[in-house]
Amino acid sequence: MKSFDGKVSVITGAGSGIGRGLAIRLAEANSRLAISDINTEGLEETAEIVRKVRSNIDVRAYSLDVSSREAVFAHADQVKTDFGTAHCVFNNAGVTLVAKIEHMTIEELEWLLGINLWGVIYGTKAFLPMLLEQNEGHIINISSVFGFVTVPTQGAYHVAKFGVRGFTECLSRELALDKECNVHATCVHPGGIDTNIANAARFGEEIGDYENKLAEDTK
């Protein structure tokens, strides 16, 4: 796919940060936008921004919890109803948790994996059949530099981002097996970007001195 002009781009986590930036750039490229976020206030702000970028833009905003399999598959159905199809799917929604592995609870780990890993898996599985049916499209899954390297207190985040990397790279190789296939998958690994994810980081409920020092340093 060589142009976004008139194509349908699906973006999760579009209420701020990378998701909002993607929406703006895609609006400039004359893409039609299906944007979603669990933060509906931020999502509406993004919608208003892209309408200022291009007054006649076809943009629809959807409240979506990507950790819910039922919600994500229903979202794919709704996008198909509203736009007829999808072409580019940006599985971008993400959160972070600050806690050493010994201190994080299973519930905290499940919360992060539900959004950062399962959200990507659900988004891929929900939209991929649509792309394959029309033999055109691209799945773009957002990992992180933390999908390559590790640092203390980011164990849960690493599990998700390494998982996104492996999942997407495998999908890419599988799609390439069919030389006639015009559907592709790409894993993106952003480094340090000035978004709200760090400011909105959740600190574990049972953290110790090391994590508390990090919390103080970020104030």
Active site residues: 157
Residue 20 is given by DSSP the state H
- Point out which residues pair with 143 in neighbouring strands: none
Torsions phi, psi for 23 (to 5 deg): -60, -40
Beta strand pairing call for 88-91 and 59-63: unpaired
- Enter the tokens of residue 90: 């940006």
Residue 146 is given by DSSP the state G
Angle (CA) 200-206-207 rounded to 5° is 65
